[in-house]
């Protein structure tokens, strides 16, 4: 009996902190996470809660670094949005409890990872979407958080994974990845143009000087036109970037950078 309990205890201990995959292209890697060298992992630029052990490795970190540099052209007009997205994909690849949130249809170490799914809670998905919603590229492409997350992986960020949300908004389900305290709200770091909640206070009517003119236009109209042209331009630019980016065929198909 004691032996059984001991085995149960030990096996539950061993099941903790388990990885599902590693590398680029991703291979099944069901092993404990490894200590990381901070210098090599681009994912730790902003965050430090991985307890010193991760499931991703240096070649993945380089892959992320390169692709997130590309993502700046889509989401960079609001750094909170960019960092929230970055954080999500870094957690997918590096989280030490990866096997709690990531599943796949094959489990043989060293084989290519097949049909990976990543379980994330709806509140995280919604709040990240809210931080990105008014970035021109995002508002043009994705009208809802579900659309944003389900197709984002395949388009702007080349991570081939299916996201899985809890059924019926069961956000308290601990089986879904949900670090709400790590959300960066856009009003903390983005300007009013891409984050309406940052505008509060600045759209006070007393800020608009009625005598202020730029040519025949009032300043308010002038700034409005300027703002709209900027959004139009940014959208056009991101579409062009997108076409170029697509043609470059970045993705997990890409050869590992280090090997």
Ligand X SMILES: *[C@@H]1O[C@H](CO)[C@@H](O)[C@H](O)[C@H]1NC(C)=O
Q: Where does this chain bind ligand X (CB under 6 A)?
A: 16-17, 22-23, 27, 29, 37, 39-40, 49-51, 57-59, 96-97, 103, 105, 258-259
DSSP state of 113: P
- Residue 23 CB, nearest distance to ligand X (Å)? 2
> In the complex with ligand X, which residue's Cβ is closer, 58 or 146?
58
Shorter beta-carbon distance to ligand X: residue 97 or 238: 97
Q: Quick one: 32 or 227, whose CB is closer to ligand X?
A: 32
User: Distance between terminal CA atoms of the chain?
Assistant: 48
Calculate the CA 135 to chain-centre distance.
15
Alpha carbons 188 and 195: distance in angstroms, whole number: 10
Q: Three-state DSSP class for 119?
A: strand
116 with 160: CB under 8 angstroms? yes
Minimal distance in Å, beta carbon 159 to ligand X?
16
Cβ 28 to ligand X shortest distance, Å: 9
Q: Which residue, 96 or 158, is less far from ligand X as judged by CB?
A: 96
| Burial class of 74 by CB neighbour count within 10 A (0 to 12, 13 to 18, 19+) | buried
In the complex, minimum distance from the CB of residue 77 to ligand X, in angstroms, rounded to a whole number = 30
How far is 40 from 43, CA to CA, in rounded Å? Answer: 9
> Which one, of 75, 44, 92, 31, lies nearest residue 190 by Cα?
75
Nearer CB in complex with ligand X: 95/122? 95
Residue 172 Cβ vs ligand X, minimum distance, rounded to whole Å: 16
């Amino acid at each position: 009996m004691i032996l059984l309990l001991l085995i149960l205890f030990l096996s539950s201990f061993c099941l903790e902190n388990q990885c599902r995959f590693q590398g680029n292209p991703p291979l099944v890697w069901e092993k404990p996470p490894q200590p990381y060298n901070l210098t090599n992992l681009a994912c730790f630029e902003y965050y430090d809660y991985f307890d010193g052990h991760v499931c991703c490795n240096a070649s993945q970190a380089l892959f992320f670094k390169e692709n997130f540099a590309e993502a700046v052209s889509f989401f960079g007009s609001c750094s909170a949005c960019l960092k929230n997205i970055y954080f999500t994909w870094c957690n997918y690849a590096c989280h030490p409890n990866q096997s709690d949130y990531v599943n796949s249809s094959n489990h043989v170490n060293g084989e290519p990872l097949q049909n990976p799914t990543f379980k994330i809670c709806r509140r995280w998905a919604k709040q990240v979407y809210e931080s990105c919603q008014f970035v021109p590229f995002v508002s043009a492409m994705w009208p809802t958080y579900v659309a944003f997350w389900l197709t984002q992986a395949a388009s702007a960020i080349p991570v081939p994974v299916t996201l899985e949300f809890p059924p019926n908004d069961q956000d308290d389900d601990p089986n879904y990845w949900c670090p709400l305290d790590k959300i960066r709200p856009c009003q903390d770091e983005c300007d009013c143009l891409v984050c309406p909640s940052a505008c509060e206070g600045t759209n006070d009517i007393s800020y608009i000087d009625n005598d202020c003119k730029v040519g025949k236009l009032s300043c308010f109209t002038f700034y409005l036109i300027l703002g709209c042209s900027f959004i139009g331009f940014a959208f056009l630019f991101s579409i062009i970037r997108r076409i170029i980016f697509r043609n470059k065929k970045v993705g997990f198909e890409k050869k590992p950078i280090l090997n």
